[in-house]
Homo-oligomer: A and B are copies of this chain.
Amino acid sequence: MDLLQAFEGIGTWSPHIVATVNDTDVKIVELDGEFVWHSHPETDELFLVLSGSLTLELAGREPVVLGPMQLFTVPRSVEHRPVAAPGTRVILIEAGGTVNTGDAQDPRFRPTTGTPL
């Protein structure tokens, strides 16, 4: 049930489920650097930064820069690219079954791991 403990040893860009609410997953993920441009056609995706700094680059819009305890929901289907300071820790809230690379083909794909705490 302790989020900070759950971050230990999960690596970067590898979302880890810590809780579920109905059909929604709550995940933790540690970010470092630039990810791939992608979208999730089936779900909104909320980013809540716990520590570090995260820039959400968004197709056709100004980027959103998030520091600790700031959040933003990327609407479904909106192309986005997360770019993070090393060791940035984030909570993700999105539909169950969402994959990290969305509709993109990229070697940084990671299967979601973890079970609710």
Residues on A lying within 8 angstroms of B by beta carbon are 1-4, 18-22, 24, 26, 43-46, 48, 50, 64, 66, 69-73, 76, 93-95, 116-117
Contacts and interface: CB of A to CB of B under 8 A. Distances in A.
Chain copies in complex: 2
11 contacts: A1-B71, A2-B69, A3-B69, A19-B71, A20-B73, A21-B93, A22-B44, A22-B76, A22-B95, A26-B46, A93-B93
Contacts of A44: 20-22
Contact of A24 (B2, B19, B24, B117): B24
A21 B4 contact: no
B24 A93 contact: yes
Contacts of A94: 21
Contacts of A93: 21, 24, 26, 93
